[in-house]
Each structure stands twice: as structure tokens, then as C-alpha cells.
Amino acid sequence: EDKVVQSPLSLVVHEGDTVTLNCSYEVTNFRSLLWYKQEKKAPTFLFMLTSSGIEKKSGRLSSILDKKELSSILNITATQTGDSAIYLCAVGGSNYKLTFGKGTLLTVNP
């Protein structure tokens, strides 16, 4: 059974701090790893990492895939209160099924 584990489960920081969120996985026939941000109901897409694209960056957010270690990190620099959300990691495996981790709850205090 495919498995995705995220850490930490929750994190509280102050504005301006840099945070690193972790995602490790066990999946049959790895295809892709995706990061989402969930503020209310619908998760919104951040990044997709594959064997041909192991590093992505958008503004203050960046992500790296380590296929050897079967893991990924999501970095957020100069955090803002608007970054407060649940960050979800998902892995695409056999039959394109997406398996999600439990998420990391990030709280950024002013």
C-alpha cells in the first residue's frame, strides 16, 4: 500500500522566519510528487516534482525532490501570516492514484 508521511504535523513560527516541511513516501511505480496549500476547503496546487523536474521555485516557496531518499522538502522563506495553512504532500503512483499525507499545519504569528 502506498504511504506518505509528513513532518512535522504542526509548526508555529514568527513572521520572517524560514520553515522547512518534510515529506517521505513509499509508493509503487513513483510518477510524481505534488505539494498543495489548504486554507479553507479546497487544496490549491503549489508544485509538481517528477524525475525530470526535481527542483521547483516560485517566489518565497521552493521544493526539492530526493528520489534516492524517497523524500521531498518544501521551503518557505520570509514567512508571512498569509502563509498560515495546512500544507499537503501527495504522491502519484500506479494507475495515477494520488496518495496524500496527513499534512503539516503551519501557523505564522505576527
Partner 1 sequence: GAGVSQSPSNKVTEKGKDVELRCDPISGHTALYWYRQSLGQGLEFLIYFQGNSAPDKSGLPSDRFSAERTGGSVSTLTIQRTQQEDSAVYLCASSLGSDRGDTEAFFGQGTRLTVV
Strands, E assignment, the chain = 3-7, 10-14, 19-26, 32-38, 44-49, 55-58, 61-66, 71-76, 85-92, 98-100, 104-109
Contacting range for partner 1; rule: CB under 8 A; set: 14-22, 60-68, 74-82, 99-107: 99-107
44 binds partner 1 (CB under 8 A): yes
98 binds partner 1 (CB under 8 A): yes
Q: Least distance from C-beta 45 to partner 1, angstroms?
A: 5
Residues 6+ apart with CB under 8 A from 27: 2, 3, 4, 91, 92, 93, 94, 99
65 binds partner 1 (CB under 8 A): no
Contacting range for partner 1; rule: CB under 8 A; set: 16-24, 26-34, 67-75, 76-84: 26-34
Q: Least distance from C-beta 36 to partner 1, angstroms?
A: 8
Interatomic CA distance for residues 59 and 80, integer angstroms: 13
**By C-beta, is 13 or 105 nearer to partner 1?**
105
41 binds partner 1 (CB under 8 A): yes
Residues that bind partner 1 in the complex, under the rule CB under 8 A: 6, 31-32, 34, 36, 41-45, 48, 50, 88, 90, 92, 95-103
